[in-house]
Structure 1
């Protein structure tokens, strides 16, 4: 391996901002999905009008995009890993952790498509808009696996609890929606429930065989040129190795 070694007193503030922005964006996206399921199920509490839930759903989606933008901008600005705007917009274009960064990019692109079509919903028609809006349900598992595969905090107990909480909230919301669908479409309800269970099961298997095992950072990085790897010593200093693996 050829390259240079840089010693730093600690991680860059941009590194912390990237992690925090990604975590908050995942929480907000989870809340957005759960509320979206509630709205589609005609849920309306007695003290809250249904249009207020729809407004909250829309505002949460915009807020999640804001923190996602923070996550992306700080990741690009931080020189620890050399990422470009093309990496943020074109899925699987990055040579660093191609698969896991690509999943996050794909989720971001889907969210942009939802945002763009929502702005012209009246022109494109409700049926077409709803078809595109279903992409939101694909964004969420992509974001979860992106965070688990790429995030440096995946091994932390608090982060694992966060993943479990997000999964439990979405699964409970989907099952509630299927229950309210009524006695018809039994086969669709069964397959919908099983598909919902597949996400947490796949994530559990993935975590056990990947991020929770030693050496995941090196395996996830892949054969990328100019990879930056960081390891912290007990004093909190960071040793950065940049070069060709």
Structure 2
């Protein structure tokens, strides 16, 4: 009975749908994660972005597992466990399949590091969280190489739009940080009033105290 279900299950459609959906959800998760760091994101909007950033990333991870399991039971071109778990060992599209495996591992590290953020500390959490970028890029290239629909005009537009969107919002966030930097350094002039200087020292002391508390956790 189980074999009959596997033989007649439209596995190829599941592979395509789950792969595309996982990619789009990862795009949404990465985009929202970057967007919540913009100065305009405050209060409820920032909290909502964070919630959806977490949800979409976890959904992408879950669909990635479904995508891999369907590849394993596919009756047309099945993958072995070693081909799926060891990068660049697949007999079909080894480079593209390997990038998909690396993306899966990178996303797993990002999710685990988020759950262990208090134990890792902010510094190491940021290091691990930056793997979201290579994980997204690997999945983008994986879809373009191995996807049977990658030659479709609509899919090409989707890949171009999502890739450029991540690049654009990353550059925008970087420019916002550079613009914020000079505003801090402008205050270091001789005409600065005493209350402002005291306030700056108070803020610096607060940051230092917060750093010590972070290391003690």
Residue 135 of structure 2, aligned match among 129, 132, 139 = 139
Secondary structure at 1:40 match in 2: coil
Q: Match of 1:20?
A: 17
SS at match of 1:29: helix
Shift of 1:42: 4.3
Contact 2:99 2:138 in 1 (8 A): yes
Deviation at 1:36, TM superposition (A): 1.1
Deviations 1:1-59 (A, max 9, x none): xxxxxxxxxx961101100111011111111111111123344267x342222111111
Q: Determine if contact 1:38/1:173 at 8 Å carries over to the other structure.
A: yes
What TM-score do the two structures reach when normalised by structure 1? 0.66
Does the aligned pair in 2 maintain the 1:28–1:64 contact within 8 Å? yes
Rounded Cα–Cα distance in structure 1 between residues aligned with 2:145 and 2:154: 16
Gaps of 5+ in 1: 1-10, 187-245
Considering only aligned residues, what root-mean-square deviation do their CA atoms show, in Å?
2.1
Larger Rg: 2
Normalising by structure 2, what TM-score?
Answer: 0.74
| Conserved 8 A contact 2:39-2:176 | no
Task: Give distance in 1, aligned partners of 2:17 and 2:105.
Answer: 21
1:35 matched to which residue of 2?
32
Residues 89 and 109 in structure 1, CA contact (< 8 A), matched pair in contact too: no
> How many pairs were matched up?
175
Question: What is the match of residue 77 of structure 1?
Answer: 73
Task: Give secondary structure in 1 for the equivalent of 2:77.
Answer: coil
1:98 to 88, 94, 101: 94
Of 119, 122, 146, which aligns to 1:123? 119
Q: Distance in 1 between matches of 2:111 and 2:35?
A: 19
2: CA distance between counterparts of 1:148 and 1:131? 27
Residues 222-244 of structure 1 deviation map (CA, whole Å, 9 limit, x = unaligned): xxxxxxxxxxxxxxxxxxxxxxx
More strand by share: 1
- Structure 1, residues 194-225: CA drift from partner, whole Å, max 9, x if none? xxxxxxxxxxxxxxxxxxxxxxxxxxxxxxxx
Question: Aligned partners of 1:116, 1:93: CA distance in 2, in Å?
Answer: 26
Aligned pairs (5 A) from 1:162-177: 162-177=158-173
Question: How far off its partner does 1:139 sit?
Answer: 0.6
Q: Does 1:64 align with 2:60?
A: yes
Spell out structure 1 runs of 4+ moving beyond 3 A.
183-186
CA contact (8 A) 1:29 1:64 kept: yes
Q: Structure 2 unaligned segments of length 5 or more: list them.
A: 1-7, 183-217
